[in-house]
Every structure is written in C-alpha cells, then in structure tokens.
Amino acid sequence: MKLNGADILINCLCEQGVDTVFGYPGGAVLDIYDALYRNGKIKHILTAHEQGAAHAADGYARVTGKTGVCFATSGPGATNLVTGIATAYMDSVPMVAVTGNVGINLLGRDSFQEVDICGITMPVTKHNFIVKDVTELADTVRKAFYIANSGRKGPVLIDILKNVQVAECPYQPQTPKNPATKSVLPDKLKDIADAIEKSKKPVIMAGGGIIASESSLLLRELAKKCEIPVTYTLMGKGCIPDGDELCLGMLGMHGTAQAVKTVINADTVIALGTRFSDRVALNRDKFAYGKTVIQIDIDNAEIDKNVTSSMHLMADLNQALTALLPLLKQKQRSEWLNEVKSFKKERNLNRATEIINSASRLSPKDSPIITDVGQHQMWTAQNFDLQSPRLFCTSGGLGTMGYGMGAAIGAAIGSGKLAVLVTGDGCLGMNMNEISTAAANKLPVVILLMDNRVLGMVRQWQKLFYKRRFSQTNLERKIDYIKLAESLGAVGIMLGENDDIENTLEKAFNTACEKSVPVLVDCVISPDENVLPMIKPGATYDTQLDKMEENK
C-alpha cells in the first residue's frame, strides 16, 4: 500500500509496540500530528514544555523497560528536547525522539524555525538521522528502535523534513527486529570464577546495567550462593531489596557508612554494569588500591576507563551471570559477613528523612519513586526502601534539575500506578508547569516538596567548601505552593514543621488514589538540614564525614 511519510511514521511506531507518545505540536510536525489523530491507536500526552515530554518519555522507559518516544517541532521545539535527550544518554535509557524540520528546499537557508538538531544532539545520542527521502523513512524508524535497544541502551533522534512527511511511497509492514545478545562461553569466565572463589572478602558493586539487562534475580542468586554483600550505585537502586541481609545500601559520595566501610575492607570488588563515575569511585587512582577488581560491562568504552580492572569481560550482564553461576560453588563467608554486620548502619535522621521514611512505609510497594536532583535526591536514595527494580527514576549522570515532574508523569502512565515524586523548591521551580499535565491526565502523583527556601545541595557545598559564603542560594520567592497546586488543577496540602507527618502523608496518598489527582505536599524543612554521610570530591573512602561541625 502507498502512504505518506507521516502515516508511515505512525504505522512504524505501531509496529514497534509504541502505545504512548509524549510531545508538543508545531508547524513542522502538523502532518505527523494529523496522522496520529487519524490513526487513533497511540495515546498522546500533551506536556506543558518539550523538555517535560523528553523527561516523561525517559520516566516511561525506566519503569516499563520499553522505548520511550517523544515528539517536537523544529527549531526551539527541537532544542527544548536536548536536556531530556542528554539525561537519557547519560543514564543509558532507550528513547526515540522525533522532530520535524523545514522542507528540503528551505534547508540550510536559516529558514523560520530551522535548526541543525542532528548536529546539536550528536554528542548526546547513540545515533541520529535526518530523513530527506520518504523511501528511507520506514527503515530509518526501525533502525532507530533497534539502535536504542542494542548493546548499551540510549536515545536516538530522527529529524524528518516537512516534504518527507507529505510525500508518498509504498509501505510494507514488518515485524520488529529485536537486538540479540551473544551467549558468553564459560571458558571466558573461568578466571573470574576462580578469583571469586579465592576471595576472602568480596563485595558486589551493582550499577544501572543490572536493571537495564533484567539481571536483578541473577544478581541476588550470585550474592546468596557465594555469600557476598551487595552495594549499589544511584542508578542500581532497586537491583536488590533494601533490607535484604546482604544489601549494604548505596555507595558513593553520599553512600551508607556500611557500604563505604565494606568497600574499604574488601579484597575483591565485583563491578557489574557500573562505570566507576567520579561520584562513586571519587579518587579513581586510589579506589582499587590493593584490591582485585573484576569488571563486567556491555560497553567496551567503560572497561578500564575510570578504574583499571584486574580482569574484565565485555558482555551482556544477563548472559554473563547466567554462564558464571554454574561455575561457582556454594560458599560460606560467615566471618566476612559478621565483619560487615559490625559496620555502622545508622541512617542520617532529620525532618526531611523522617518524611521520606514515612513515605516509604505508607506508599504502595509497587509505586515508582521519582526524584529531582539535590539533597532530596540523596535523602531518597538513602532512605526510601525499594523491593524491586524499575521503581526508581532519577537523573544520575547529568544531574538534571527539572527532571522530576516530567519523569513522574511518564512513570505514572507507564506503570499504571500511583507515583511518588520527591523534589525541592529549586527543582520544582524549573518544571512546575507539568503539574498541569498530570492534572489534565488525572494522574495520581504525590509530590513531596522539600521546601527549605534554598538551593539545598549547592548551599551545603558552600557551607563545607566556601566558608559559608551563600552566594545566590537563598531563594527569595514568595510562592504559595498550596495555591499554586490548586491553580494548576492539583490538590495542595501543608506539612508544617510541627505537623504530624504520618497523618498528613496518609491523607495525601489516599486523596491521590481516590480522586486520581496529583497532590502536592508542601513539606517545610530547615535550610540547615544536610545530607550525611558525605565524602569530599576526589577524596578517598576513609575520609567519610558523619558530621559537619568541623567545617562550619
């Protein structure tokens, strides 16, 4: 059959199993939106801003494991996607972003709303395409989904010229081609298995690759079979249940004391799907000193990039662990586990963490948890107990303030569950317009706003490293967040410093579920509440700070 380019695009999305698209229309994509309307099979979520659409596609992808899809028009519409695309790129989230552009006769002439979005996004996409010929469109869309999901996952952009959207050519439906992973031969894992067997004090360091490869159950089997404690990076949260006897909590600059001390005392670090970022390895030259480091990762570029391994394997983690487990014998490491248990496990307690701990107890166990970036992000990672993977959405690599509200929309739609967003007043100021999107779509999202009237994490750094010179981190905004929420179609609830946390949050969760409405809880906290423990940038793990008095 013969179709125009816009119809070919929508049909190809249906081929790929796309059920939801997030976007914002404009002149250069009107034909695409018309095809979407006529097709009627794909749900479209109209966001308040294109950046919100990209973050929503990201949140949808994280909780479902499917590819998130977003649309934007040319020029500013396309450039507004860039931060969301870069966020997905840094955290290896599969996404296909579709933009429109001027017709081929106007290309390169500085035409109205023309921008080279492929050139702009080249550093932050796995691949991008500009489609100038309608006969190439269907294959390009199929390639984009294949690339987004092959190897280390990530975003792909397709820029479709206006003339391609209206031109016609034959279209033949195809079954999606799913990326295949190569089986790992056992002989490639022999040295790794031997090293694990010989180790007296091993620790597993699990990253986002465990979740991306659907390997959480294999990780738990490995940990229990060999009695190895597990710490996770920010992107790996949920890979092992918080509260499991072998779970140490998060590692890194704001990692738990137990995780940090275990890594210090370990003789072997088994790094699975993690890239040893500067917020995790900190001083990469000293991180692995005197230890055997085993690294397994699907991306060859990450092998030995930040920390030099003793042995490594480039492979899909699911395939690697499936092949590794039969090579390992049941092992008892009671002496090591007792030593690990002796390490301090207290959590940092303040008003903010009390609120997050209460939310963790009261929220449904299958609710996706979303954060923006800053102190509240670290408090949540430290204190919100998760039992399953694909429930935690946060901007790890790029650290994108303004990520949360869009991602919460995508997570709520993708999961079909109540979503919990923990944010700060600085971050919410960047994306509060998306509350109206959640309200318009009747999404049960509980927004826990940590309202300390400052840019908390930046101010904490100024306290520690800049002798309390609080330059531009005190917010002088006169926002009434309850009225703001109500004006955007949400429900607003105040949680003052002396109000009962449990009753207030219980009311918020019940209201969101019963009325299918976003509920904003204005949680008033002190600007002097800090994220602890903390390790200084570039320092070693043995310099972890539990108090900040000496730096005041």
| Contact status, residue 527 vs residue 452, Cβ threshold 8 Å | yes
Eight-state DSSP code of residue 178: P
Q: Which CB contacts under 8 angstroms, 24+ apart, belong to 34-41?
A: 34/6, 35/4, 35/6, 35/7, 35/9, 35/10, 36/10, 38/7, 39/7, 39/10, 39/11, 39/14, 41/14
Is 165 assigned a catalytic role? no
Q: Where are the alpha helices (DSSP H) in 384-524?
A: 404-415, 425-431, 435-440, 456-465, 481-487, 501-515
Name the catalytic one among 22, 145, 153, 162: 162
- Bridging pattern class, strands 2-4 and 168-170: antiparallel
Is 529 assigned a catalytic role? no
Task: Report d(CA 7, CA 421) in Å as an integer.
Answer: 36
Is 457 assigned a catalytic role? yes
The H or E element that residue 333 is part of is none
| Contact status, residue 375 vs residue 530, Cβ threshold 8 Å | yes
| Contact status, residue 229 vs residue 337, Cβ threshold 8 Å | yes
Closest CA to 95 of 123, 136, 59: 59
Name the catalytic one among 113, 214, 227, 343: 113
Exposure on the CB side of residue 45, measured as CA atoms within 13 A: 36
Instruction: Report how many helices (DSSP H) and strands (DSSP E) the chain contains, helices first.
Output: 23, 20
Is 465 assigned a catalytic role? no
Task: Report d(CA 463, CA 208) in Å as an integer.
Answer: 31
Query: In sequence order, what DSSP letters do the residues of 413-427 get, joined into one string?
Result: HHH-S-EEEEEEHHH
Amino acid at 412: A
Is 332 assigned a catalytic role? no
Name the catalytic one among 112, 329, 344, 365: 112
Question: And the tokens for 283?
Answer: 């001083």
Name the catalytic one among 235, 253, 430, 457: 457
Eight-state DSSP code of residue 501: H
Task: Report d(CA 442, CA 411) in Å as an integer.
Answer: 14
Omega into 533 within 30° of 0, i.e. cis? yes
3-state SS class at 151: coil
Eight-state DSSP code of residue 125: S
- Catalytically active residues are 50, 112-113, 162, 457
